[in-house]
Amino acid sequence: MLKFQSTGKAGRMSKTFSRTDTITRLLMREKGQQLVINELRHRTKNLLSVVLAIARQTGYVSHDVESFQCEFSQRLNGLSRSMDLLVEDGGGGAAVSGLVHSQLQPFGNIDGVRISATGPDLFLNLSATQNLGLALHELATNALKYGALSVPEGTVTVAWQVGPGPLGSTCFRLTWREQNGPEVKPPEHAGFGQVVLQRMTGATLGGSVSHEFHPSGVVWTLEVFSDAVLIPSTDASVVGTT
């Protein structure tokens, strides 16, 4: 009868491969953790920059400490709603419909009568979610104080779409339209809301902003290249702009 005697080499090789595999997994895990830390550091700095900008601009136009605290906390609440939405959707971005609903819900039910929101399923990136969220908060706040939401018969329509842009590109367009409210008069002074709506949003996202004060109601429109604000994997049909 033949007998085979183990030399132990196979066992040593198995242990060597096992240790190598363990080290590889640990290195990959460490690398993954470092990527998460770097991303968290970047997002934290970005968020703090936004908060500081809100604090500075609010301070410029506040008449006293009490008004500053009130307006600053309201704007932070608006920013917080956008951040909550980002976390719920995984942190990479948020649906346009979700952002519109989260920012407008505190001002009234989006029932398709008083407040309506329409548009295709599109997903905004992190920067667009933050900045467009601030803009929507300011629009809703102004509408409640002075515009369509200040009277029972007033209405607000928010509509968005993707359409053809210059040189074969596609553009994302969102329009806020107020109707049946008090007669609109352009503001005499540019407060924080005007800075956000007319300069910060367009400049930050690299798009153009139109803010029109028609007697019949405010119309605010943002138009920007789709790849600057939408998550690339978004599967959106291209429709014509109005």
DSSP-derived pairing of the beta strands 155-164 and 115-118: parallel
Assign 48 to helix, strand or coil.
Answer: helix
pLDDT along the chain (242 residues), means of 10: 52 60 69 54 56 64 72 70 68 85 87 91 90 90 91 95 88 96 80 69 87 92 94 50 38
Q: Is 8 helix (H, G, I), strand (E, B) or coil?
A: coil
Q: What share of the chain is helix, strand, coil (3-state, %, to 5)?
A: 55, 20, 25
Residues making up the chain, counted from first to last: 242
For residues 175 and 208, the answer to whether their CB atoms sit within 8 Å is no
pLDDT of residue 106: 85
Domain-wise residue ranges, the chain: 74-229
Question: Does the pTM exceed 0.85?
Answer: no
Q: What is residue 90's DSSP assignment? A: T
If 0-12 CB within 10 Å is exposed, 13-18 middle and 19+ buried, where does residue 63 land?
exposed
Distance CA 72, CA 87 (A): 22
| pLDDT attached to residue 242 | 37
- Token couple for 178: 């107020």
pLDDT of residue 217: 94
The CATH fold assigned to 74-229 is Heat Shock Protein 90 (3.30.565)
Listed in sequence order, the DSSP H helices in the chain are 9-61, 65-88, 96-104, 126-145, 192-195, 201-205, 226-229
| Whole-number pLDDT of residue 223 | 94
Residue with tokens 């900008």: 53
203/196 Cα distance (integer angstroms): 10
**Residue (of 239, 210, 202) closest to 118 by Cα position:** 239
